[in-house]
Amino acid sequence: MRRWATPITLLVLLALLGYGLWWGWEQLTRPFSDSTPCVTQSASVLITTQVTVQVFNGGSASGLAGQVTEQLAYHGFHTKSAANTSEQVGATTIVGAATDSPEVQLVAGFFVDPQTRGDDRTDGTVDVLLGDSYSGFNDDAPTSIDVPGGVICIPGATEAPADGNAG
């Protein structure tokens, strides 16, 4: 038995090392999620000050995401810092929990011919993806929208918007 103790111990240690390497790689490459689930509230109307938006540039127009972020902030939206996305985007795309979510529909009203997409997010935020086919901003869009179900999803209080607006 003593003759096999060293090789068996070595194999067990190698298995533990292999598992540790696999687990570490899985943790390192998993998607990062800093989202806090939204807080649901009863409301018949959703207004821009209750919506948090982040604009991403998916095209070649430098500074477009920053410009659109400023326009949305001017209309009362809480905005996160503009950023780039590696996703290739043609038309303006509004992404939120679902295509018919009030927050998605409210944001979509501020863009000319946007596409909407749901990704089942739970944090109540909305992303705007701008591409080379950006059709423009609608300054005359309404700043509120009726809520058919009577319940809205407000981003969690632990998240501070990048523009400093408190909600």
CA dist 109 and 103 (Å) reads 10
Domain that holds residue 50: 39-154
* Statement to judge: residues 59 and 93 lie in one domain: yes
Q: pLDDT tens, 44-62?
A: 999 999 999 999 999 888 8
User: Do residue 19 and residue 48 come from a single domain?
Assistant: no
Total number of domains in the chain: 2
**92 and 25 part of one domain:** no
Tokens representing 49 are 């000050």
CA distances from 135 to 27, 57, 93, 99 (A): 40, 14, 11, 19
Domain identity same for 43 and 74: yes
Closest to 133 (Cα-Cα) out of 112, 148, 118:
112
Residues 107 and 25 in one domain: no
pLDDT tens figures, 13-42: 999 999 999 988 888 877 665 566 888 889
> DSSP class of residue 137?
B
Which pTM does this prediction carry?
A: 0.72
